[in-house]
Structure 1
Amino acid sequence: MKNYLYNVINYLVKLESKIAFYPTLMSLGGLFFAFIMYYLESLGISSYLIEHAPLLVVNDTETARSLLTTFVAGLISIMVFSFSLVMILLNQASSNFSPRVLPGLISNRRHQVILGIYISSILYSIFTLVAIEPNGNEYQLPGFSVLLAIVFMTVCLGAFIYFIHSISQAIQVNNILDKIFSTAITRLETLIDAEKESKTDFPDTSNWQVLKSHKSGYFQDLSSNNLINIAKENQCKIEVIPVKGTYVLKGAPIVKYSIDLDEDFVKQIAASFLYSKSELIEDNYVLAFKQITEIALKAMSPGINDPGTAINAIDYLTDLFLLRMHKNDRSCYFYENMPIVKIGTVTFSELLYSVMAALRTYCKHDFVIVTKLFGMLKHLLENQTKYSEQYKKPILQEVENLYQDTIKTHSNSTDLKRIEFLYNELI
Structure 2
Amino acid sequence: MQKYVLWLVDYIKKLESKIAFYPTVFSVIGIVFAFIMYYAENNGISGYILKYFPALVINNTDTALNILTTFIAGLISIMVFSFSMVMILLSQASSNFSPRLLPGLISNRRHQKILGIYIASLLYCIFTLISIEPTGDSYQLPGFSVLFAIIFMITCLGAFIYFIHSMSQEIQVHNIMERIYADAKYRLEKLLNTEKENIDNLSFPDSDNWELITSNRSGFLQTINFDIISKIAQECDNRFEVVAIKGNFIHLDQVLYKVEKPLDKEQQELIEDAFLFSRDEIISDNYILAFKQLTEVAVKAMSPGINDPGTAIIAIDYLTELFSLRSSKSDESYVTKDNKALIKIHTVSFENLMYYCNSALRTYVKHDVIMVLKILDMFYYLINNVTYSAYQKIISTQIEVLLNDAKSSINNQNDLEVIKTKADAILNN
Shorter chain as denominator, the TM-score bin is over 0.9
CA distance in 2, matches of 1:217, 1:296: 27
Aligned to 1:132: 132
Tell me, what secondary structure is at the counterpart of 2:216? coil
Aligned to 2:336: 334
Aligned to 2:284: 282
- Mapping 1:28-427, distance limit 5 Å: 28-135=28-135, 140-196=140-196, 197-198=198-199, 199-385=201-387, 387=388, 389-427=389-427
Q: Would the alpha carbon gap of residues 172 and 137 (structure 1) be closer, same or farther in structure 2, given more than 3 Å must change? A: farther
- CA offset at residue 134 of structure 1? 1.9
Tell me, what secondary structure is at the counterpart of 2:134? coil
Q: Would the alpha carbon gap of residues 188 and 167 (structure 1) be closer, same or farther in structure 2, given more than 3 Å must change? A: same
Aligned amino acid, residue 186 of structure 2: T
CA distance in 1, matches of 2:137, 2:252: 68
CA distance in 2, matches of 1:137, 1:191: 71
Of the structure 1 ranges 204-213 and 2-11, higher mean CA displacement relative to structure 2 is found in 2-11
Aligned amino acid, residue 254 of structure 1: L
Q: Deviations along 1:125-154, whole A, 9 cap, x unmatched? A: 011101112248999310010011011111
Of the structure 1 ranges 54-63 and 7-16, higher mean CA displacement relative to structure 2 is found in 7-16
Aligned amino acid, residue 25 of structure 1: V
**Contact residue 47 and residue 139 of structure 1 kept, 8 A:** no
Of the structure 1 ranges 9-18 and 212-221, higher mean CA displacement relative to structure 2 is found in 9-18
**Contact residue 61 and residue 141 of structure 1 kept, 8 A:** yes
Q: Deviations along 1:320-364, whole A, 9 cap, x unmatched? A: 001111111111100111110111100111101100100011111
Tell me, what secondary structure is at the counterpart of 1:218? strand
Q: CA RMSD in A?
A: 1.3
CA distance in 2, matches of 1:195, 1:208: 25
**Contact residue 214 and residue 254 of structure 2 kept, 8 A:** yes
Aligned amino acid, residue 188 of structure 2: L
Tell me, what secondary structure is at the counterpart of 1:275? strand
- CA offset at residue 10 of structure 1? 2.5
CA distance in 2, matches of 1:284, 1:209: 27
Q: Would the alpha carbon gap of residues 77 and 136 (structure 1) be closer, same or farther in structure 2, given more than 3 Å must change? A: farther
CA distance in 2, matches of 1:307, 1:377: 18
CA distance in 2, matches of 1:322, 1:194: 18
Moved over 3 A (4+): 135-139
* Residues paired across the two proteins, number: 425
- CA offset at residue 158 of structure 1? 1.1
Aligned amino acid, residue 338 of structure 1: K
- CA offset at residue 6 of structure 1? 2.1
**Contact residue 183 and residue 281 of structure 1 kept, 8 A:** yes
CA distance in 2, matches of 1:226, 1:85: 43
Tell me, what secondary structure is at the counterpart of 1:220? strand
- CA offset at residue 4 of structure 1? 2.5
Q: Would the alpha carbon gap of residues 139 and 44 (structure 1) be closer, same or farther in structure 2, given more than 3 Å must change? A: farther
**Contact residue 210 and residue 258 of structure 2 kept, 8 A:** yes
Identity of aligned residues (%): 54
CA distance in 2, matches of 1:51, 1:263: 70
**Contact residue 410 and residue 416 of structure 1 kept, 8 A:** yes
Q: Deviations along 1:5-62, whole A, 9 cap, x unmatched? A: 0231132123211111111111111111111111111111111111111110000111
- CA offset at residue 365 of structure 1? 0.8
Aligned amino acid, residue 291 of structure 2: F
CA distance in 1, matches of 2:67, 2:33: 19
**Contact residue 59 and residue 138 of structure 1 kept, 8 A:** no
Tell me, what secondary structure is at the counterpart of 1:340? strand
Aligned amino acid, residue 265 of structure 1: Q
**Contact residue 6 and residue 273 of structure 2 kept, 8 A:** no
**Contact residue 133 and residue 139 of structure 2 kept, 8 A:** no
CA distance in 1, matches of 2:237, 2:408: 57
Tell me, what secondary structure is at the counterpart of 2:140? coil
CA distance in 2, matches of 1:66, 1:139: 14
**Contact residue 300 and residue 306 of structure 1 kept, 8 A:** yes
CA distance in 2, matches of 1:280, 1:130: 43
- CA offset at residue 202 of structure 1? 2.0
- CA offset at residue 114 of structure 1? 0.5
**Contact residue 90 and residue 102 of structure 2 kept, 8 A:** yes
Aligned amino acid, residue 25 of structure 2: L
CA distance in 1, matches of 2:136, 2:334: 71
**Contact residue 324 and residue 386 of structure 2 kept, 8 A:** no
Unaligned stretches of 5+ residues in structure 2? none
CA distance in 1, matches of 2:51, 2:406: 84
Aligned amino acid, residue 296 of structure 2: E
**Contact residue 97 and residue 299 of structure 1 kept, 8 A:** yes
Tell me, what secondary structure is at the counterpart of 1:94? helix
CA distance in 2, matches of 1:136, 1:290: 69
Q: Deviations along 1:222-261, whole A, 9 cap, x unmatched? A: 1111111111111010011111111111011111000111
Aligned amino acid, residue 168 of structure 1: S
Unaligned stretches of 5+ residues in structure 1? none
Tell me, what secondary structure is at the counterpart of 1:134? strand
Of the structure 1 ranges 376-385 and 112-121, higher mean CA displacement relative to structure 2 is found in 376-385
Aligned to 2:9: 9
Aligned amino acid, residue 208 of structure 1: W
CA distance in 2, matches of 1:291, 1:201: 36
